[in-house]
């Protein structure tokens, strides 16, 4: 698939104060895109905004605080950005956490928080984004899933993988709904990318640096594919294998 002839100029990114959200903001800014950035930590957003404007004085960068689990605030923030920026062309549903625990070990609160942030809050973001795009019959929705979405995983990854699988299915359903419209839907399946989210992990097979991962994610987003595995090697080739592995082998992956 070739890149769109008219690039999406104004991009909203949730969870933009750290990790892949911050990295993608830097990469889009280098491409000359205007940015609407939101996250809970406004001090980090303000510092990021200063850095981006200093490095790329020709772009616009708007920031707003947002806890994506406050669903009403999601709609309010997206609409406020849309008005402030004169329309949003692309929305990247990126905010998420990875603090799951083993099921049945007394940590329901942590697993519930993961489910609420990674899926329910993502649903609110998708609803708000598609509502805006439907109103003008154009736009590009990007959801950041994970390679863990391909199988149910054990240990601390069980809830996390389930939320990312749900998010991928949600995005595919939205894509099916909007197939015959100019609205595009992209689901990203990143492999292991070093960020604050996984800083304490001991084993991260085929992991790449955060700046490299952010650059590859943005490169994939710019193509506007239906799905993309990032980086392509080895994850695009491992995806069909992972789906066929016996569960006894899958159980050793976490």
**DSSP string spanning the chain?**
-PPPSS---EEEEESTTSHHHHHHHHHHHHTT-EEEEEES-HHHHHHHHHHHHHH-TTS-EEEEE--TT-HHHHHHHHHHHHHHHT--SEEEE---------TTSS-HHHHHHHHIIIIIHHHHHHHHHHHHHHHHT-EEEEEE--GGGGS---GGGHHHHHHHHHHHHHHHHHHHHTTTSSEEEEEEEE--B-SGGGTT-S--TT-B-HHHHHHHHHHHHHH--SEEEESHHHHHHHHHHHHHS-HHHHTT--
> What's the pLDDT at 98?
84
Annotated active-site residue 160? The verdict is: yes
The distance of Cα 151 from the centroid of its chain, to the nearest Å, equals: 19
Compute the distance between CA of residue 85 and CA of residue 10 in angstroms, rounded to an integer. 7
Which CATH number is associated with domain 10-250? 3.40.50.720
Does this model's pTM top 0.85? yes
pLDDT, tens only, 67-96: 999 999 999 999 999 999 999 999 999 999
pLDDT, tens only, 86-123: 999 999 999 999 888 999 999 999 999 999 999 999 99
> What's the pLDDT at 1?
41
Each domain of the chain, given as residue ranges in start order, spans 10-250
> What's the pLDDT at 28?
98
Q: List 139's β-bridge partners, or say none.
A: 183
> What's the pLDDT at 253?
76
Q: List 228's β-bridge partners, or say none.
A: 188
> What's the pLDDT at 68?
98
Segment-wise mean pLDDT, segments of 10 residues, the chain, 254 residues? 60 96 98 97 96 97 98 98 98 92 96 97 98 97 97 94 98 97 98 76 79 97 98 92 90 79
Compute the distance between CA of residue 223 and CA of residue 5 in angstroms, rounded to an integer. 10
Whether the CB-CB separation of 199 and 193 falls below 8 Å is answered with no
Burial of 236 (0-12, 13-18, 19+ CB in 10 A): middle
> What's the pLDDT at 200?
62
What's the token pair of residue 27? 């990469």
Q: Which of 160, 189, 192, 235 is catalytic?
A: 160
> Which long-range contacts does 48-54 make (Cβ < 8 Å, 24+ apart)?
48/16, 48/17, 48/22, 52/25, 52/26
């Amino acid at each position: 698939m070739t890149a769109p002839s008219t690039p999406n100029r104004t991009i909203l990114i949730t969870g933009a104060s750290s990790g892949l959200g911050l990295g993608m903001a830097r990469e889009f800014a280098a491409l000359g895109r205007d940015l609407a950035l939101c996250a809970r930590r406004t001090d980090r957003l303000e510092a990021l905004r200063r850095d981006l404007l200093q490095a790329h004085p020709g772009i616009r960068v708007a920031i707003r605080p947002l806890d994506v689990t406050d669903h009403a605030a999601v709609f309010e923030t997206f609409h406020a950005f849309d008005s402030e920026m004169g329309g949003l062309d692309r929305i990247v549903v990126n905010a998420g956490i990875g603090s799951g625990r083993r099921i049945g070990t007394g940590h329901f609160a942590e697993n519930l928080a993961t489910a609420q942030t990674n899926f329910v809050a993502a649903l609110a973001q998708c609803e708000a984004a598609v509502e805006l795009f439907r109103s003008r019959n154009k736009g590009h929705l990007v959801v950041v899933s994970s390679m863990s979405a391909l199988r149910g995983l054990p240990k601390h990854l069980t809830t996390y993988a389930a939320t990312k699988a749900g998010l991928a299915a949600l995005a595919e359903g939205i894509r099916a709904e909007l197939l015959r419209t100019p609205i595009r839907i992209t689901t990203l399946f990143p492999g292991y990318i070093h960020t604050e989210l996984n800083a304490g992990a001991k084993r991260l097979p085929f992991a790449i640096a955060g700046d490299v991962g952010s650059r590859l994610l943005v490169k994939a987003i710019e193509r506007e594919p239906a799905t993309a595995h990032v980086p392509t090697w080895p994850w695009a080739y491992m995806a069909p294998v992972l789906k066929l592995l016996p569960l006894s082998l899958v159980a050793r992956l976490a």
